């Protein structure tokens, strides 16, 4: 049982015994005691004065006296106005240290009493998390990196909380944007392939998406010069009309169009697979829009027949959402082709029928907030009970010092190029600092990869998902400060300490419950003990940032401890054992917290 759980339970008992009132643990407000006051945990007493009919100070004193008499773990208490500050006995923290030492998967639910009881307080749920969701007309870029890292990490955090998670990817492999790349390839490639061009398939196809935009803008400019209004020119540029006709042919099943589409999609998907492996992300199932949009169209037509939706004079099908404070939403174009919303309706329908999940979480940028609000609303109007289980994990955009990226203009930072740059930066920084002297090139290369990906993942995930962020590659790979490499280096320092202990014949054993702890040592144990609560909070808020910042705080505190206290050179055997045990558990907590972010820990750095 965690200290928070134990204290909340006992406070409920204290209120009942002192004032004869039954209350719920949720009414107990607990917080860590502020550093300027003595104590470890603070109980906010003001809500209980309605039961005691006494002043906050008198109420706090009565409850403090009861808790100290009945809870052996409470050493002493003090009262500051309406706040009851409780000091936990050192033996409790030693017990926590020994308990953590026995849990290799510390922080994961279902592993040991602490996590098992924590999970038992909540219902085990089944989540489906959709992330990545790339278009097959361009390579993955920096925006996809945040999406993939966020989706994978939230999945891992929910699993760490004991929930079942199904990770899925919806590949947007149909639509006008795909046809734009196809038209450009037909017109300008001369039959080139990724192999003949010496390029990864996704980069190869992406070049033709950029080429289409260039050709389109040139045609619009010519039409405007010929006297056509700009908006009319944009709608009637010949290359755009060709792309629209290709989409119509695709939906009609034209063999030549389908063959070209399959070939170009295969090129892109092979490229994606390489990038996913490099990122360290994976999926339990991959959906393709080309296979789900028909179900959406079928459901929309049924909604039309049932009078839930309506058809305009031009034949297009719409949803009227004005009664819900929104507007009218297009679902089928006048030529009968589907829009994104249509396929999302079909995909959601199939997923809930197949997996019966408690929540489906879409990890998608905040520019799509309206889209998912509308998706849930339309599905509800179509009569689906699961509509309210649709959740949108909205995240902010990733920007660069030079501004926002635009795929169609070719101003994006491709994921492959960025990762390659990060690995090169890790190599240069490590060599400059002499971190990997004596390593073989293969060994060093593996460390460079871990450091580069660790730097990238941490820099992305330490920011609250809702916030727009600025990415600076060189800043992210600094070995000092609030960075992934700093955390990795701290873990490597712990592992080095363990190796030296083994070489010296020192084997850590459970700490003596009567071992005295310095203030710094006790602070470290308290920080380690917080991990399960941080994992729970990160899961409840879908926020890897909470775990990222926890890992940094623990690494920072450990390094200060390592600097101030001798460990293996400590002459007192009891103190040496406690400190070595404490160091190893710090490393474990750092490794497990960072592991939920997808950050690998090098054994040496």
Confidence (pLDDT) at 430: 80
- Residue 152 domain-assigned? yes
Average pLDDT over residues 294-311: 95
pLDDT score recorded for residue 412 = 67
How high does pLDDT run on average in the chain? Answer: 92
pLDDT at 160: 97
When pLDDT is averaged across residues 357-373 and rounded to a whole number, the result is 96
Please name the residue that has the structure tokens 């004991």.
Answer: 162
pLDDT digits (tens, 9 = 90+) for 317-343: 999 999 999 999 999 999 887 888 998
Query: Shortest CA distance to 122 belongs to which of 387, 363, 358, 361?
Result: 358
C-alpha to C-alpha distance for 584 and 509, rounded to whole angstroms: 11
Number of independent structural domains in the chain: 4
Q: Which two tokens stand for residue 36?
A: 């300027």
Predicted confidence (pLDDT) at residue 408 exceeds the cutoff of 50: no
Q: What angle do CA 182, 185, 188 make, to 5 degrees?
A: 145
How many CB atoms are closer than 10 A to CB 9? 13
Segment (H or E) for 129: strand 126-130
Strand partners, 318: 310, 330
Only one residue has tokens 């289980």, namely 389
Reply yes or no on whether the pLDDT at 114 is more than 90. no
3-state secondary structure of 123: coil
Is the whole-model pTM more than 0.85?
A: yes
Please tell me the distance from the alpha carbon of residue 530 to that of residue 470, in angstroms, as a whole number.
Answer: 30
Q: Looking at residue 537, what is its pLDDT? A: 95
Residues 75 and 65 in one domain: yes
Whole-number Cα distances in Å, 195 to 192, 203, 256, 514: 8, 12, 22, 69
* CA atoms of 248 and 183, how far apart (whole Å): 13
**Stretch 406-411: mean pLDDT:** 47
CB neighbourhood size of 68 (10 A): 15
**Which pair of structure tokens corresponds to residue 487?**
């955390």
Q: Which of 349, 379, 410 marks a domain boundary? A: 410
Question: Is 142 found in the same domain as 66?
Answer: no
CA-to-CA distance for 233 and 474, rounded, in angstroms? 44
Percent of the chain at pLDDT > 70 equals: 96
In this structure, the answer to whether residues 385 and 419 fall within a common structural domain is no
Taken as a whole, the chain contains a residue count of 605
Q: Which of 252, 279, 306 is the C-terminal boundary of a domain?
A: 279
Q: How far is CA 412 from CA 136, 184, 424, in A?
A: 15, 19, 20
CA dihedral 135, 141, 143, 149 (to 10 degrees): 100
**Shared domain check, 426 and 406:** no
* CATH code for the domain in which residue 377 is found: 3.40.50.620
**Assigned domain for 111 exists:** no
Residues 22 and 168 in one domain: no
Domain boundary residue among 279, 295, 318?
A: 279
Return the closest-CA partner of residue 100 out of 585, 523, 516, 576. Answer: 585
pLDDT at 385 over 80: yes
Q: Indicate if 404 and 422 belong to the same structural domain.
A: no
List the alpha helices (DSSP H) in 329-413.
Answer: 340-355, 369-381
CA angle, 545 as apex, 423 and 551 as ends, to 5°?
Answer: 75
Domain membership flag for residue 432:
yes
Burial class of residue 395 (count of CB atoms within 10 Å of its CB; 0-12, 13-18, 19+): buried
Q: In what order do the strands lie in the sheet with 30-32?
A: 30-32, 41-44, 83-88, 74-80
> 255-279 and 201-225 are packed helices; what angle lies between their axes, rounded to 10 degrees?
120
Q: Is residue 41 part of a domain?
A: yes
Confidence check: pLDDT of 221 > 90 = yes
For 70, the token pair is: 């009945």
- Give the integer Cα–Cα distance in Å for 263 and 111: 47
Angle, helices 519-529 vs 90-101, to 10°: value is 50
Q: Which residues contact 69 (CB under 8 A, 6 or more apart)?
A: none
Mean pLDDT, range 350-375, rounded to an integer: 96
> In the structure, how many helices (H) and strands (E) does the chain have?
23, 14
Nearest to 493 by CA among 591, 417, 361, 404: 591
Residues 152 and 293 in one domain: yes
d(CA 254, CA 112): 59
Question: What is d(CA 287, CA 52) in angstroms, rounded to the nearest whole number?
Answer: 59
Short-list 58, 62, 67, CA closest to 86: 67
Confidence of residue 1 (pLDDT cuts 50, 70, 90): low
Same domain, 471 and 540: yes
CA–CA gap between residue 12 and residue 71 (Å, rounded): 13
Q: How confident is the model at residue 122 (pLDDT cuts 50, 70, 90)?
A: low
Q: Is the dihedral of CA 320, 324, 329, 332 positive or negative?
A: negative
Residues 393 and 428 both lie in one domain = no
d(CA 295, CA 301): 10
CATH of the domain at 27: 3.30.1360.70
Its domain, for residue 342, covers: 125-172+284-410
Q: Let me know: does 138 contact 176? Beta carbons within 8 Å.
A: no
What's residue 513's pLDDT? 86
**Do 446 and 532 have their domain in common?**
yes
501 touches 508 (CB < 8 A): yes
For 505, half-sphere exposure in the C-beta direction (CA atoms, 13 angstrom radius) is 0
CATH number at residue 550: 1.10.730.10
Burial 246-271 (b: 16+ CB within 10 A, else e): bbbbbbeeeeebeebbeebbebbbeb
pLDDT in tens, 238-280: 999 999 999 999 989 999 999 999 999 999 999 999 999 999 9
Residues 34-50: tens digit of each pLDDT: 989 999 999 999 999 99
CA 544 to chain centroid, in Å, comes to 5
Q: Are residues 183 and 296 in the same domain?
A: no
Q: If you average pLDDT over residues 143-150, what whole number do you get?
A: 94
* 308 and 437 housed in the same domain: no
């Amino acid at each position: 049982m965690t200290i928070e759980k134990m204290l909340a339970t006992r406070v409920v008992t204290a209120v009942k015994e002192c004032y004869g009132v039954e209350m719920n643990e949720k009414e107990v407000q607990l917080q860590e005691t502020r550093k300027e006051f003595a104590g470890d945990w603070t109980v906010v007493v003001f809500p209980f004065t309605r039961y005691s009919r006494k002043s906050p100070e008198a109420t706090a004193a009565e409850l403090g006296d009861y808790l100290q008499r009945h809870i052996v773990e409470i050493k002493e208490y003090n009262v500051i106005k309406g706040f009851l500050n409780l000091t936990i006995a050192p033996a409790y923290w030693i017990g926590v240290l020994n308990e953590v030492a026995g849990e290799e998967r510390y922080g994961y639910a279902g592993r040991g009493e602490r996590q098992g009881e924590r999970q038992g307080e909540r219902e085990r749920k089944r989540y489906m998390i959709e992330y990545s969701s790339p278009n097959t007309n361009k390579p993955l870029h920096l925006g996809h990196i945040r999406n993939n890292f966020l989706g994978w990490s939230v999945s891992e955090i929910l699993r760490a909380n004991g929930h079942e998670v199904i990770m899925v990817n919806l590949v947007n492999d149909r639509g006008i944007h795909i046809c734009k790349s196809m038209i450009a390839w037909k017109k300008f490639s001369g039959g080139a392939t990724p192999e003949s061009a010496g390029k990864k398939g996704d980069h190869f196809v992406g070049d033709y998406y950029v080429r289409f935009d260039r050709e389109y803008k040139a045609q619009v400019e010519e039409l405007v010069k010929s006297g056509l209004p700009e908006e009319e020119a944009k709608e009637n540029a010949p290359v755009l009309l060709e792309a629209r006709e290709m989409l119509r042919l695709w939906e009609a099943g034209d063999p030549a169009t389908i063959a070209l589409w399959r070939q170009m999609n295969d090129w892109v998907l092979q490229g994606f697979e390489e990038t996913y492996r490099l990122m360290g992300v994976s999926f339990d199932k991959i959906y393709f829009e080309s296979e789900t949009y028909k179900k959406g169209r079928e459901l929309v037509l049924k909604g039309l027949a049932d009078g839930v939706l309506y058809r305009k004079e031009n034949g297009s099908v719409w949803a009227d959402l004005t009664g819900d404070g929104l507007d009218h939403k297009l679902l089928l174009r006048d030529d009968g082709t589907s829009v994104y919303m249509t396929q999302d309706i079909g995909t959601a329908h199939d997923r809930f029928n197949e997996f019966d999940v408690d929540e489906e979480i879409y990890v998608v940028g905040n520019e799509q907030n309206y889209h998912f609000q509308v998706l849930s609303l339309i599905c509800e109007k179509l009569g689906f009970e699961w509509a309210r289980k649709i959740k949108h994990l909205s995240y902010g955009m990733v920007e660069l010092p030079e501004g926002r990226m635009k795929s169609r203009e070719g101003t994006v930072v491709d994921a492959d190029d960025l990762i390659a740059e990060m690995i090169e930066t890790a190599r240069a920084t490590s060599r400059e600092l002499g971190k990997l002297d004596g390593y073989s090139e293969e060994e060093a290369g593996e460390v460079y990869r871990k450091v580069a990906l660790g730097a990238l993942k941490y820099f992305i995930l330490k920011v609250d998902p809702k916030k727009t962020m600025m990415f600076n590659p060189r800043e992210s790979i600094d070995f000092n400060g609030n960075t992934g490499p700093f955390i990795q280096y701290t873990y490597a320092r712990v592992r080095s300490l363990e190796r030296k202990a083994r070489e010296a014949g020192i084997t850590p054993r459970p700490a003596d419950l009567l071992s005295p702890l310095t203030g710094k040592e006790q602070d470290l144990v308290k920080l380690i003990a917080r991990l399960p609560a941080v994992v729970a909070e990160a899961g409840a808020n879908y926020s890897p940032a909470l775990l990222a910042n926890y890992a940094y705080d623990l690494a920072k505190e450990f390094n200060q401890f390592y600097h101030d206290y001798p460990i293996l050179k400590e002459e007192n055997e009891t103190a040496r054992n406690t400190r070595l045990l404490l160091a190893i558990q710090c490393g474990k907590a750092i490794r497990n917290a960072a592991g939920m972010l997808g950050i690998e820990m090098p054994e040496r750095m």
